[in-house]
Amino acid sequence: MTERVQRLTMSVSEMSDELGISSKTGYALTHIPGFPVIRIGHRVRISRDGLAEWVKANEGNKLEVAL
């Protein structure tokens, strides 16, 4: 049996699935100051721990995301 290692980062598509939002909205979130995005070359990755902290810090807030 092979154990799967959980990666430290996720793609925008994975993050969007986790949050229950569209990928388009997910990409828009990556442009918000303070969002836990990591850019590696042309790739956009989101920190798993950073996302959890960001969500907790923004509970109850209404975010306006420009699409």
Non-local CB neighbours of 40 within 8 Å, separated by 6+ positions: none
| 45 domain-assigned | yes
User: Can you read off the two tokens belonging to residue 11?
Assistant: 């793609």
| 23 domain-assigned | yes
* Domain of residue 43, residue span: 9-57
> Could you read off the pLDDT of 3-15 as tens digits, one per residue?
777 889 999 999 9
| 4 domain-assigned | no
| 16 domain-assigned | yes
Say how far apart CA 50 and CA 2 lie, in whole Å: 27
Which strands, in side-by-side order, build the sheet including 37-40?
9-11, 43-47, 37-40
> Could you read off the pLDDT of 25-43 as tens digits, one per residue?
999 999 999 999 999 999 9
| 3 domain-assigned | no
| 1 domain-assigned | no
pLDDT, residue 2, reads: 67
| 40 domain-assigned | yes
Say how far apart CA 66 and CA 49 lie, in whole Å: 25
How many domains is the chain built from? 1
| 62 domain-assigned | no
Sign of CA dihedral 31, 33, 36, 40: positive
